[in-house]
Every structure is written in C-alpha cells, then in structure tokens.
C-alpha cells in the first residue's frame, strides 16, 4: 500500500494508509502520562477503532455506568456522535478506520462497542459494514450526563452549522435560551461546553482536509470555520500535539475523493 503518511506528535505516533478512495486506516501508539477524560466527535465521517486492551485502562459511559473496554474490542462511532473516554496512564496501541460513506440501513447511528470477532482487519467499507451487521450483541455508549432536550437541540444546531462563524450568544438567541443555561445544560449532558464541541468538530474536519486536499493551511482553517488562522494553529496543536503541516507531508495523500 503505497499511500502512507506518518505523524510523530508529542505523545503519539500515527501511521495513515489509504485502503481505498473512501477508507483511511491509521495505526496509533499513544502515551498517556496521567489520567485524562477526553471527548471525541467526528464531523461527516464514521470511525471503527480496534484494540486489545488490558482491564482498567479505558472506560466509557453506558446505561449501566462506566464500563471497562477490555480484550479484543472495537468501538464504532457514527458521525457527530460525541464519545467520552476515561483513560488511565498507559501506552495504548490500536488501529482505526475512517470513512465518509453514508451508513446503510441496519447500522446504528449511535456509538457502541463490541467484542472484536476475529483477527482479520477489514480492507473495505463493505467489510466494515458486514462485520457490524453480523454482530449478535453490542453495547451502546451514551453521553456521560442525563439526556436534555435543550442540550440535544444545541448539539443538532452545532452539527448543522459548525462551519458558520456564530458566537455562543448568537447561537443561544437562535435557540431561545440564555447563554448561561445553554452552556450549563450542554456541558452537563455531553461533558464539554458547546464552544469546545464545535471547536473539536472544526479541528477534526481540518485534519481530514489536510490529509486529503491540496489547499494551503490558511484556506483549510477558513474552510473549517475558523476566522483567525493563528488561533486555528494554536488550537490544532493543543488538540493533536502536532503541527497542521505534519498531516500533509506526502503529496500522494492529497486530492483524494474521500471528502468529495
């Protein structure tokens, strides 16, 4: 597989490969020096992550409380599905697959985990979907807090408008909530503020554009919803512990159809 890119960040190394025009695989070794709580959410793409985890290292919230992910396990995250991870100090190794292909009937639109059924990794989007459709059981991952109608409405609005340059006050006005109530209800449900959630969507969007498009970094910053390229660079490094330019060192990864 010739289309490859390696990103060496402060605390992880990721090897990217294009398996097909609509599927990226990445292999990661990630060092966590202290306990962390992180929330991930991907705009417009789904992901399947697979790892062989020791008990007690990674937990996710479910209907039955926090659950350890252990053994050969996979986590499927549909687009715009925030997942909270509680991670203990460790070195994690896992593989993940990312694609913008729309989910077909029979594939849940909520994040879930399941015991990985075999040692064969998928090579195509159809193989990923086939594995999921053949599952006999899986467990949904839920937001860490209680369901809230205002929080859900706020999330839906952000998901549809994260590229737009709207202030939180403008969002609150459109949703007919106060600024403070909107922030409080959203964070109580999803574990991060609405502004932080929108920023993560923009940054993950920018990461995909860097991997797949030839546009310069400034253009990608604007395309992802940022109005200040300098602020974009700072926030990108804070989240990914790497520079935007590190995600486009191979011309062979550009001009792909994955974001078309």
Q: Could you give the strand order of the β-sheet that contains 58-62, starting from the edge strand earlier in sequence?
A: 36-40, 83-87, 58-62, 65-68
The CATH superfamily label for domain 4-140 reads Jelly Rolls (2.60.120.10)
SS percent in the chain: helix, strand, coil, step 5: 35, 30, 40
The per-residue pLDDT for 249 is: 54
Structural domain boundaries of the chain?
A: 4-140, 149-253
The per-residue pLDDT for 258 is: 47
- Is the pLDDT at 259 greater than 70? The verdict is no
Q: How many C-beta neighbours within 10 Å does residue 68 have?
A: 15
The per-residue pLDDT for 118 is: 75
Q: Report the pLDDT averaged over residues 35-44.
A: 96
- Residue 223 CB contacts under 8 Å (≥ 6 apart), including other chains: 163, 206, 209, 215
Asked if residue 81 lies in contact with residue 43, where contact means CB atoms within 8 angstroms, the answer is: no
Average pLDDT across the chain, whole number: 93
Check if 4-140 and 149-253 are the same fold: no
Domain 149-253 is of which CATH architecture? Orthogonal Bundle (1.10)
Reported as a single tens digit per residue, the pLDDT across 206-234 is 999 999 888 899 999 999 999 999 999 99
- Residue 101 or residue 250, greater confidence: 101
Reported as a single tens digit per residue, the pLDDT across 145-202 is 999 999 999 999 999 999 999 999 999 999 999 999 999 999 999 999 999 999 999 9
**DSSP symbol at 246:** G
Cα(201)–Cα(182) distance, rounded to whole angstroms?
18
Cα(49)–Cα(143) distance, rounded to whole angstroms?
18
Model pTM?
0.92
């Amino acid at each position: 597989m010739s289309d490859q890119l390696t990103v060496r960040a402060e605390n992880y190394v990721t090897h990217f490969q294009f398996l097909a025009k609509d599927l990226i695989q990445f292999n990661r070794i990630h060092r966590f020096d202290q306990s962390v709580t992180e929330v991930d959410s991907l705009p417009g793409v789904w992901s399947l992550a697979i790892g062989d985890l020791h008990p007690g290292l990674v937990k996710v919230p479910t209907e039955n409380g926090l659950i350890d992910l252990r053994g050969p396990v996979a986590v499927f995250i549909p687009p715009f599905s925030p997942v909270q991870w509680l991670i203990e100090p460790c070195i994690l190794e896992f593989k993940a697959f990312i694609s913008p292909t729309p989910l077909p009937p029979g594939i849940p639109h909520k994040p879930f985990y399941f015991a990985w059924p075999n040692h064969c990794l998928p090579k195509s989007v159809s193989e990923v979907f086939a594995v999921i459709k053949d599952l006999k059981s899986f467990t949904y991952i839920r937001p860490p807090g209680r369901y809230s109608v205002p929080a859900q409405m706020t999330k839906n609005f952000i998901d549809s408008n994260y590229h737009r340059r709207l202030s939180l006050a403008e969002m609150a006005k459109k949703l007919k909530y106060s600024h403070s109530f909107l922030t409080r209800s959203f964070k109580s449900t999803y574990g991060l503020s609405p502004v932080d959630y929108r920023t993560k969507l923009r940054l993950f969007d920018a990461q995909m554009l860097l991997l797949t498009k030839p546009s310069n970094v400034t253009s990608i910053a604007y395309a992802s919803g940022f109005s200040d390229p300098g602020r974009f660079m700072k926030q990108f490094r804070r989240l990914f512990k790497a520079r935007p330019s590190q995600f486009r060192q191979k011309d062979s990864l550009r001009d792909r159809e994955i974001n078309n």
